[in-house]
Amino acid sequence: MQKANVLFLCTGNSARSQMAEAFLRRYAGERFNVYSAGLEPKGIHPLTVRVLEEAGFDLSQHTSDSVKKYMGHMHFRYVITVCAHADENCPTPLWHLGEKLHLPFDDPAAATGSEAERLAVFRRVRDEIGTALAAWVQSLAPEQAAP
């Protein structure tokens, strides 16, 4: 059976979309091909790597990609924006044949303060994303995972 493609889209593809990609691969990698991209990719934030490693994720194969890598090359069953900027600026050709969803989360890369304070924000957002995606996967009927 062919798996449906899912793209998580954010502005920088440095934190939230990377976290979402990791969680959906864990929760439903047998049902979906999972990707993430940014409108203006900035590289994966070091604290993203750290908090995902704490949760048992290996990001060594993850890359911070531009949305342009996928435009016109892949069909996505779901394009899921995880920040307001990406939601407002999502290129229509990415999702016009599938579904566009918006799951907004705070930007942990914008956190200020000590490293411990910034880590706390990254951990909170990581956990919120994990919870939201577990609920989303749980809500899907089997035919909703079809390409």
pLDDT tens column, 17-48: 999 999 999 999 999 999 999 999 999 999 99
The SS3 assignment for 51 reads helix
The SS3 assignment for 50 reads helix
CA 58 and chain centroid, separation? 15
Catalytic-residue membership of 108:
no
DSSP secondary structure string for all residues of 39-69: SS-----HHHHHHHHHTT---TT----BGGG
Catalytic-residue membership of 117:
no
Catalytic-residue membership of 55:
no
At 20, the amino acid letter reads A
At 95 the pLDDT is 61
For the chain, the structural domain boundaries read 4-145
Tens digit of each residue's pLDDT (9 = 90 or more) over 44-66: 999 999 999 999 999 988 999 99
Active-site option among 83, 109, 125, 145: 83
Active-site option among 9, 10, 82, 103: 10
CATH class in words for 4-145: alpha beta
Is pLDDT of 93 > 90?
A: no
